[in-house]
Amino acid sequence: MIVITCPGFSPHGGIRILLEWANRLPDVTILNTSARNNAPSWFNLNPSVKITQSPLVIKGADILIIGSPHGIKYQDYGAKRTIIFLQMMEHLFKSNDTKWMNMCRQTYTSPHPMILIAHWNFSWCLKYGRIAPTYYVGNGVNLNDFPISEKSKDGRTVLLESPIPSNAAKDIDKIGLRVAEQLRADGYRIISYGLLPMNGESNLVDEFHLKPSLEKLNDLYSEATIMIKATRYDARSTAPLEAMTKGCVTARALTYGDDDLIHGVNCLRSGYNEDDLYDNAKQLLTNESLRKQLSENCIYHVQKWSWEYYMDRIKEILFDHPNAKLSLL
């Protein structure tokens, strides 16, 4: 039996990745470490995957996958093998919270093997003193939930992802919103979605969708010519990959992260800078031949670097296969 710890079932990318793993591994039980006793109504979880809030399920489990620092207290709770799955340097979300910082530090320096999804996260773990085996993989896209579509674009619609920051690692200066405001003044149509309401700033966009359904997300990606996403730090965000399934190219601004996004190949990316983000977005909107090439590359990327590709490697690591040669150490 495999147990995966999960810090609740709110609809965001990190939780989706844990659930995607659960759907693709054998005999999985999810240990919900949040106080809420619920299930992911927004995600198509395989009926064979069990959910519990009792940590006793760990005792005797073949493999325990700790999916976030919320579950680090269970790292030596009795599983035959424990793996840390690091999706982000999570202390950046709440850097002033001493208790959270300690939990994150324990996670980064755990003596158990770790799987992570961002090269910069590996470098930072080393700075914290990590010495245990560490492996690098990526995320795929669920092509059943986000099917490939090459529907033509109008060249005028811009999708702004998460305009309101949810934590200190996100777009705390709201440069994405400011760029969208500039583009709207240039005559482009701005549609947007996010987990937090825009409230008084909703007049800066033409449409805003709070916690959109899967169907609505697909509609937004299909409708948008490009997507704008700005954050200070991300490990491997899911939204740009989901948008790729519709040939929607991302103008990306961030300090570190998103190893899938290659400037001039499947996106235009810059540092966390408003002027650069605007210039890249405007270039995508006005240079149709460039946008078309990047759009084609996006669809190629999500088809090649699929969940099937990554899960073969993840299983090699989890089941300690002798051919698992992904260690970064």
| Residues sharing a CB contact under 8 Å with residue 261, sequence separation 6 or more, in sequence order | 240, 250, 252, 267, 269
Spatial CA neighbour of 174 closest among 135, 205, 146:
205
Distance, in Å, from the CA atom of 193 to the CA atom of 175, rounded to the nearest integer, reads: 15
Q: Could you report the per-residue pLDDT of 112-160, keeping only the tens digit for each? A: 999 999 999 999 999 999 999 999 999 999 999 999 999 999 999 999 9
Query: Phi/psi of residue 84, each to 5°?
Result: -95, 125
Q: Could you report the per-residue pLDDT of 75-117, keeping only the tens digit for each? A: 999 999 999 999 999 999 998 899 999 999 999 999 999 999 9
Residue 328 has pLDDT above 70, yes or no: no
Q: In the structure encoding, which two tokens stand for residue 240, read together? A: 């740009």
pLDDT band, residue 67 (cuts 50/70/90) = very high
Residue 321 has pLDDT above 70, yes or no: no
Distance, in Å, from the CA atom of 77 to the CA atom of 82, rounded to the nearest integer, reads: 9
Full-prediction pTM beyond 0.85?
A: yes
State residue 110's pLDDT score.
98
